[in-house]
Amino acid sequence: MKKIQSDHLERQVAALYDILCDVFGADRLVLKASKLEALDLMHSENLAERVLALEKLVYEDPTLDSLPSFNEIPKILEEIQEEIADFLARRTVEEKLEQRIAEKIQERNLEYLQEIRQQVLKEDGGPENAQTLKKLAILEKMDQVRLAQTAREILRPRSLDQIVGQERAVRALVSKLISPFPQHVLIYGPPGVGKTTAARLALEEARRVKGSPFGPDAPFVEVNGATLRWDPREVTNPLLGSVHDPIYQGARRDLAESGVPEPKLGLVTEAHGGVLFIDEIGDMDPLLLTKLLKVLEDKRVKFDSSYFDPYDENVPRYIRKLFQEGAPADFVLIGATTRDPEELNPALRSRCAEIFFDPLTPADIEIIVREAAGRLGVKLGPEVASAIAEYTIEGRKAISILSDAYGLALYQRRKARKRASSIIITLDHVLEVVQNARLSPFVTVKASDSMEVGRVFGLGVVGFIGSIIEVEAIAFPAREKGKGSIRFNETAGSMARDSLFNAGAVFRLLTGKDIADYDVHVNVVGGGNIDGPSAGLAILAAIISAVQGRPVRQDVAVTGEISIQGKIKPVGGIPEKIYGAKQAGMKRVLIPLANKQEVPLGIKGIEVVPVDTAAAALEYLLAPAAAKKKRLPRLAAGK
């Protein structure tokens, strides 16, 4: 009896498959089964699996995976028959609707074709209803509401000469773009110094130059490297582009029905003929960056898909061209980063010219604040610009503080119901803003004209920003000669500790005294870790000052590694350290003679002195000894 029932069910299933073949056609049924993961189930010898395939095809649900039991199959087949009947009924209605349209087309002229379609759609309800029309009206009303421009949009530089403190870097950037052979560029620098704005304005300048490779409509495409998310399977890739296959990735409906894959172009093609600006390029996915380097070499993006058939007559010509030739992607890459050059991909650096943007000095910040106040149409109190410069070295942050102070001044004026002709931003407004934001002064150590014993200013670098390292020392005669001790910060780092031991040897070399005869305590104020030996000269000067009681100038900063022979060895970060000394108000900075060529050209506001020995450096730092001071050559501005 069960065998008879099974044979009956087998015939039912076969009949249903025949109906589906008649409805969809054999080829489309196979394509539909492949899309719904039912192709293998269709050809199975297991009745339950063929019934499951029927369910997937009829209900168009690839997630169905539960095999029905033998007793459940009859009920399932009845439900499938009902669903097929509903489908055929809908199809019959659609065919009648199409027949009505054809009859009306024959009755009227072709010029009324659009009217006929609208009429038919209206008779059958159409895609619009009260709810959809209401939502459309809400969207259109929202489009009419616009807030005022943000302060950043108003105060953003509109020309290259409005970018403060970056004249050399901007000149270098523009020169890379206006050349007949433009170069890819990497821009290094701290945040908020104008890297993005400079790149955008540099392209605008290049568009105006006769003979420039950039046309008047050359695009500027901007993206943040840290936000570029992509799928390694190339399902999606907003930067380079991807292929939407007709089954899983949602190709256009007319293409999907004919099984044609559709390439989606990426930002590199959108930037063709212009500039692709990638901010924070150092945060890009390494594999995606490698793919981008390949595009830079080929100047095209290649697409591939197993669904592409070059001999398929249904493939549009533009899709055939994209698959066979690729999409054009000839652009200039400008990448900006706050990372050190050593952290970037060497292959990327080898393909790009490198430009460094300098940290902004307090004088630069004051200029930015005054120019921004002019654009806002407000007046500044006498100490406002200098006060803002105390709390930031970023132009963007300075603008933010100014705009917040402007809003506060505007609020207070309206609350007091005053009708002044212009708004005046005072020091009190700025102080209230920085206190609400819990900001602290950026430069905590400043130069002075005084002299102190055992206190020396060294120089360090964090990122692209130089900073002052305050080193202090105190010394006492040891209780027992030759058994003195040296104490040093535990957190200062092993390399700084090595510098301390080197300083002990040089101390004996220069003074003829043994440091073991003294109890010496050296302290790096703040307890920061010193990365590298560049504080060696500062530590030596602090020890000698403390032991001999010779005051140290407080308007001079030093950097340099000392050898046990008393020579000053080269160190890194010279430009950043010089700018850090300028921010602290130092009048002079001592650098190793070997770093002389790294001094920025045209440096103003500070004297740079190259020295090659510790003895020479001490003459500039310590109060003069009894002997006549020997004059050493100095490196003044631009020399």
Of 32 and 468, the one with more pLDDT: 468
pLDDT at 474: 93
Categorize the per-residue pLDDT at 627 as very low, low, confident or very high, splitting at 50, 70 and 90.
very low
Residue whose structure tokens are 């060497």: 346
- For residue 386, which of 441, 448, 459 has the smallest C-alpha distance? 441
Write the pLDDT tens digit of every residue in 580-621. 888 888 999 999 999 999 888 778 888 999 999 999 999 999
| C-alpha to C-alpha distance for 454 and 549, rounded to whole angstroms | 8
For residues 282-293, average pLDDT: 92
| C-alpha to C-alpha distance for 45 and 10, rounded to whole angstroms | 10
**Least confident range of 102-111, 138-147, 386-395:** 102-111
pLDDT reading at 2 higher than 80: no
3-state secondary structure of 508: helix
Categorize the per-residue pLDDT at 126 as very low, low, confident or very high, splitting at 50, 70 and 90.
low
Write the pLDDT tens digit of every residue in 387-440. 998 888 888 889 889 989 998 988 888 877 766 567 889 999 999 999 998 988
- For residue 463, which of 341, 363, 281, 570 has the smallest C-alpha distance? 341
Joined together, the tokens standing for residue 141 give 């009303």
Residue whose structure tokens are 């609707």: 97
Inter-CA distances, 554 with 240, 290, 456, 495, 591, Å:
55, 50, 7, 25, 16
pLDDT at 487: 85
Categorize the per-residue pLDDT at 100 as very low, low, confident or very high, splitting at 50, 70 and 90.
confident
Categorize the per-residue pLDDT at 281 as very low, low, confident or very high, splitting at 50, 70 and 90.
very high
Largest CA distance in the chain: 124
Give the amino acid at 391.
Y
Reply yes or no on whether 577 is catalytic.
Answer: yes
- CB contact at 8 A, 638 and 620: no
Categorize the per-residue pLDDT at 638 as very low, low, confident or very high, splitting at 50, 70 and 90.
very low
| C-alpha to C-alpha distance for 331 and 275, rounded to whole angstroms | 6
- CB contact at 8 A, 385 and 370: yes
Joined together, the tokens standing for residue 326 give 């690729």
Domains of the chain, with CATH numbers?
2-97 (no CATH), 153-356 (3.40.50.300), 362-436 (1.10.8.60), 451-621 (3.30.230.10)
| C-alpha to C-alpha distance for 77 and 71, rounded to whole angstroms | 11
For residues 554-565, average pLDDT: 91
pLDDT at 637: 39
- For residue 293, which of 231, 213, 350, 221 has the smallest C-alpha distance? 350
Catalytic residue among 32, 176, 577, 582: 577
CA-based R_g, the chain, Å: 38
Return the DSSP state at 63. T
| C-alpha to C-alpha distance for 504 and 520, rounded to whole angstroms | 10
Residue whose structure tokens are 């055992």: 454
Catalytic residue among 467, 499, 534, 545: 534
pLDDT at 304: 86
Categorize the per-residue pLDDT at 256 as very low, low, confident or very high, splitting at 50, 70 and 90.
low
- CB contact at 8 A, 542 and 588: no
Record the pTM: 0.67
Query: In the 3-class helix/strand/coil scheme, how is 577-589 assigned residue by residue?
Result: HHHHHHHCCCCEE
Question: Cα dihedral angle (513, 515, 519, 523), rounded to 10 degrees?
Answer: 120
Categorize the per-residue pLDDT at 248 as very low, low, confident or very high, splitting at 50, 70 and 90.
low
pLDDT reading at 529 higher than 60: no
Instruction: Return mean pLDDT, the chain.
Output: 83
